[in-house]
Every structure is written in C-alpha cells, then in structure tokens.
Structure 1
Amino acid sequence: MPGTKQTNDGPSRGEGGPTRLPRSLYEKELLRLQTELVTLQEWVRAEGKRLVVIFEGRDAAGKGGAIKRVTELLNPRVARIVALPVPTERERTQWYFQRYVEQLPAAGEIVLLDRSWYNRAGVEHVMGFCTTEEYRRFLRQCPVFEGMLIEDGILLRKYWFSVSDTEQERRFRQRLTDPTRRWKISAMDLESVTHWEAYSRAKDEMFVHTDTFEAPWYVVESDDKRAARINMIAHLLSTVPYREIRQPHLRLPPRPSPSGYERPPKHLQTHVPDHANALLSSSRRTS
C-alpha cells in the first residue's frame, strides 16, 4: 500500500495517518461495553469464577489505557490490577513463576496483569537480564504452567497490543514533552526503539511456543487507541460465558426524625480552602 511500510508488528501509519474511531461513537460504545463488564464482574463474583487477563505488547502500545477502561467502573475489591516491579534478590532465586502465582485470583476475583510472566520472553531476553538457559526453560515451562492454570478452572485470556514503529515513536515524543505523561516513559522504554527488530523476533519466537490451542494469543491492533480498547473489551466479553445475575431488591429506608443531634460549629473544624469558589470568582472577573 502506498505511503505505508510493513513492520514485524503491524503497518506504520501513512502520511495522513489511519482513520480514527470518532470520539462520540467510541464513548457511546465504551459505556455500553463497560456496563457489560459490570455484568461480567457480578457473574464472576456470584459464581466464584477466577479470571486472569494478560496485557502484553511493546512500550506505548496502549496496554495501560485499555486496562484503565476495563476497570473504570468495576469494583476494585473484585477486579485487581497487578503490575509487579523488578524482582528482588530473593525473588530472583525462586522458581520464575512463583511471584506471579501469589497474584492469581481467588474465587470471585478478576486479575488484570499489566505485563506478566512474559517479561522473560521479552525485555529480559532482549536486554540480557536472563540467561539463554533461563529463557529456553521459560519457553518450555510456560505452556505447561498455563495449562495447569486452565485445568484448575482459571479463565485465562492473553492480549498482545500491536503498535507500528512510527506510532510508537510519536507516542514517545508526546510523553517526553507532556508533563502529565512524562512518568510513563523511562530510559528502558527508549532502549526499545534501538532494539525494535530484536523485540520483533522475540515476540515471534514467544508466539511459536506459547500461542497454544488452550491458551491462545489474541492480537489487538493498537495504532488507534480507541478502536483497540473497544475491540479488546468486546472480544473479552465474547469469550466468557457470563450471564446476568439477578440483584437483590434494595430499598432506601425513610430517614428517621431528628432526635436532638446538633452538628458542632464549623469554625471548630479545619476545612480545605474553597479553591473552586476562588477559581469561579477569578473566571467571572476576567470574562
């Protein structure tokens, strides 16, 4: 296609860029899907199910934004985000999967892994943070490990967010200049630019070994973040056989009549300054 170059992880944007999902359509469908996610959550809780959703992909591929939209309306006591830091010295001496096992859900819980045990097949392998033998052992053990989780009844879903090189670079530049997003980028993230092909080969090798019948990878094209979020959530909902759980009928009781309680005077308490009122007054003066 003219104006587009093919990479190992999806096509780059042409000069005009891809067609984006309109915000109005996106927000309407997102709300509908998030409402369905609440229904899914209640089914998981009522039926004692255990759901694990893995989010993987290149840096700036949109994993965090997708996770945020998935959990936005969910109960944090049911749906938990796990984003583990680098392993401690003690954890490095454990079986590789051990610290992830501790994060798995109990009955009635959903765990969303913002990166996962697949760190070993990606950044650890590419950047030399593990040995070749540790890497090969991971590729052998991972399908067995995931098979055990599934055999035990855990619902496992794995999503790979695929972003083009030009879109990744655009997002990196945006993060470098936006003070509200600067925290999202690190020196290690920038290293991924110079190791693009190495990460592509690592992803391809990872898929060869871990894209199994019982635990397949689902690829999410994510140059358009809005479309990626909609597509991922819709697919997740379509793969889980949830149903609506009838909620108990709740009724707001009448407020009892006053019984003589008097609130302490406000001047005896320390209140935060009324910044909102000051902002409103300032706006009126300048308008």
Structure 2
Amino acid sequence: MDEPEQRHQTKDWLEVELEDTLDEDYEIELEDAILSMEIRKIYDRAHGETMPRRQYFQALLKLQAELIKLQDWVIHHKKRVVVLFEGRDAAGKGGVIKRITQRLNPRVVRVVALPAPSDREKTQWYFQRYVPHLPAGGEIVLFDRSWYNRAGVERVMGFANDDEVEQFFKDVPEFERMLARDGILLVKYWFSITDEEQQLRFLMRVHDPLKQWKLSPMDLQSRVRWEDYTKAKEEMLERTNMPEAPWYIVEGNDKKRARLNCMDHLLSLFPYEEVPDEPIDLPERVFNEDYERRILPSELYVPDKY
C-alpha cells in the first residue's frame, strides 16, 4: 500500500472512531429522552431553554481531554486523589461520575459505590469499610456516596442514633485531616437540587421503565422527609467544612451545566500539566509462512443478528 492510500485509509478509520465516540455520547444522553409526553411538557416548562446539544458536546469533549491529562499527571507523580459525591437522591451524582470516567482508564480511576453495611461491618469502626478503597499512588477514587451517609441517610432514616451521629461529627474532621497529612488530595462535592426538581426526576423514573430500577423505597422516603434531609445537610456542611477538606456545592437543576461546571472545577483544583510521554511505534506483525489459521466450529460464534 503506497503512502497516500495509507493516509487516506487512516483518515477513514479516524472518522469512524469519531462517529463511534459521538454515538457513545448520544447513547448516554438518551437516558433523559424516554419520558411520557405529559412529564416532558412539565419538565420543559420548569427548565426553559436548555443548553444546545452541540455546545454541550463540544465543552464535554474538551473537559474530558483535560481529564486525561489530569489522569496522566496523577500517574506520573504517583498522586492519590479522592473525590466524594454527595447530594439528595436524583441530584445528578451518577451522571457526572459517568461523564468523568467515560474516557479514563478504569485501572487508574475507580468508582466506589458501597451497599448498605453488613451485620459484621456494623460492628466495625465506622470508617473501616471505606479505608480499603482509598487510592494507592497514581490512582483516583470517586466515591458515589461516602462516609457522609452517617450524617445524611443513616441519621434521617434512623439507622444511626444521636450518639453515633455526634461521634461521627467529632471523628470525621480528624479522619480527613489524617488523609490530608498523608498526602491524599480530598475533594468533596454536594449536588444541590430544589424540591420541585427532585419531584420531576422521580416522576421521570416512575414513568420510564429503563429508569425504574433507580427508584428504591429509600428514595420514596426521602421525598417524605425532605425537610429532615435539609436540616441534616445544613448541619453536615457547617460542621465538616474545613480548610483541609472544604465542601463545594454544585447547583444541579440543569444537568448538563452541572456536569460541565463540576468537571471544570475539579480540573481547576490541581496544578496538573502535560507529562513526558514515550512515543508509541506500532511494530510490524510477524508473519510465519508455515502458520495456517484454523477454522473454528460455527457454534462458537455469537449470531450476527444486527
């Protein structure tokens, strides 16, 4: 194959890859698209003009490219990063986590979303089950809910008594200072949405069969106890906001803008820069004239239905 033809073929491959990348973005965005018409009308009236899709994708791809640079910087300098995502149910934590990790190496950037504690874990030091998930050098860990469960859902739902909650508030500042002293970079986000917005998002889940799995009995109770959650959140932010580990509040009513704002802010917290990169040379394949590829039985193949 001559050089011009090879360049042309490479360009075609890159265009196909770019189309696949955009298709992946569209697939993710479709999570918001399947709504009953009545809920869609209510949602549109509540939100007004949304961010144009083209503008959103351009900003998203730019930020994701910067996140790759941040990832490489973390690896190169053996940094340890922990990011906590907290907020009410349906506030958009999962959506921003999904966009942050979408193009990053899952061996470097891990998401931790722990289930309810087991009977054994309930007898342990409260922070014990979170400690094994903390990063080693060159890793970023994103907690989709964290040890702040004790100050939120456990407190409001009665899974922790007043003494346990008070002990948490005494312990958590020192725990986070310990992490900071050991060199862990800790970032804490609270995603804030209004009462009306949460109601709309719950209605979306009720009427969308692809999202009903997201609606748990605990989520329904969070609607009933909105004010209790508000009081718990206010005290949590007041008592656990400190210079070593400040809270950052993300206005979450507009999903797209909330994702972009959070990603942009996260990048601004680190003095990352492009790191030296070894050039990659694709080696030529070794051909063996005596090798003949075996024909495998047809039943081993997945049927071509699409």
- TM-score (norm: length of structure 2): 0.83
User: What is residue 109 of structure 2 aligned with on the other side?
Assistant: 79
1:147-166 equivalence runs, <5 A? 147-166=177-196
Cα separation, 1, equivalents of 2:46 and 2:287: 66
* Deviation digits for residues 193-246 of structure 1 (CA, Å, limit 9, x no counterpart): 110010000000001100112211100001111000000000000001111112
Distance in 2 separating the partners of 1:16 and 1:131: 38
Structure 1: distance between partners of 2:301 and 2:75:
39
Shift of 1:17: 2.4
- Do the aligned residues in 1 keep the contact of 2:80 with 2:135 (CA within 8 Å)? yes
Per-residue CA deviation, residues 76-129 of structure 1 (Å, 9 max, x unaligned), is 000000000111111111111111111100111100000000000000000100
Amino acid at match of 2:80: R
Distance, in Å, in 2 between the alignment partners of 1:167 and 1:253 is 54
2:47–2:254 CA contact under 8 A, matched in 1: no
Of 283, 289, 292, the residue aligned with 1:253 is: 283
Give 1:219's aligned residue. 249
Structure 1 residues 50-59 or 176-185, which shifts more?
A: 176-185
Partner of 2:305: 275
Partner of residue 232, structure 1: 262
Corresponding residue to 1:177 among 207, 231, 254? 207
Distance in 2 (alpha carbons) for counterparts of 1:152 and 1:235: 24
Give the residue type in structure 2 aligned to 1:239: L
Counterparts of residues 126-165 of structure 1 (less than 5 Å): 126-165=156-195
Name the counterpart of 1:7: none
Question: Which is worse superposed, 259-268 or 177-186?
Answer: 259-268
SS at 1:275 equivalent: coil
Report the equivalent of 2:36.
Answer: none
Could you list the runs of 5+ residues in structure 1 that have no partner in the other structure? 1-12, 277-287
Asked whether the equivalents of residues 159 and 220 of structure 1 are also in contact (C-alpha less than 8 Å), the reply is: yes
Give unpaired runs (5+ residues) of structure 2.
1-42
Structure 1 residue 258: deviation in Å? 3.9
Identity over aligned residues, as a percent? Answer: 55
* Structure 1 ranges of 4+ moved more than 6 A: none
Q: Which AA in structure 1 matches 2:257?
A: A
How big is the shift at 1:16?
Answer: 4.5
Match of 2:54 in 1: 24
Tell me, yes or no, if structure 1 residue 92 matches structure 2 residue 122. yes
User: Is the 1:20–1:227 Cα contact (8 Å) retained in structure 2?
Assistant: no
Q: Which residue of 1 aligns with 2:239?
A: 209
CA contact (8 A) 1:140 1:209 kept: no
Kindly state the Cα deviation for residue 272 of structure 1 after the two structures are TM-superposed.
Answer: 1.3
Q: Is 1:50–1:108's contact at 8 Å kept on the other side of the alignment?
A: yes
**Structure number having the greater helix percentage:** 2
Counterpart contact for 2:97–2:142, Cα < 8 Å:
yes
1:166 CA displacement: 1.0
Q: Does 1:124 align with 2:159?
A: no
- Tell me the secondary structure at the aligned position of residue 213 of structure 2: helix
Q: Distance in 2 between matches of 1:90 and 1:145?
A: 22
- In the superposition, the TM-score normalised over structure 1's length comes to 0.89
Shift of 1:132: 0.4
Q: For residues 30-86 of structure 1, what are the alpha-carbon distances to aligned partners after superposition, in whole Å with 9 as ceiling and x for unaligned? A: 101001111101111111100000000000000001000000001000000000011
- Aligned mates of 2:297, 2:47 — CA distance in 1: 58
Note if contact 2:251-2:258 (Cα within 8 Å) is conserved in structure 1: yes
2:298 equivalent to 1:263: no
Q: Which amino acid aligns with 2:273?
A: R
Alpha-carbon offset, residue 188 of structure 1? 0.6
Task: Tell me how far apart the structure 1 counterparts of residues 129 and 120 of structure 2 sit (CA, whole Å).
Answer: 10
Alpha carbon RMSD of aligned pairs, Å?
1.4
Correspondence 1:111 to 2:141: yes
Shift of 1:265: 2.1
**3-state SS of 1:246 partner:** coil
Task: Give me the whole-angstrom Cα distance separating, in 2, the residues matched to 1:88 and 1:57.
Answer: 23
Following superposition, the deviation at residue 18 of structure 1 comes to 4.4
| Cα deviation, residue 144, structure 1 | 1.1
Equivalenced residue count is 264
Who is 1:280 aligned against?
none
Alignment deviations for residues 174-205 of structure 1 (CA, whole Å, 9 cap, x no partner):
11121211111101101111100100000000
Q: Which residue of 2 aligns with 1:10?
A: none
Aligned to 1:54: 84
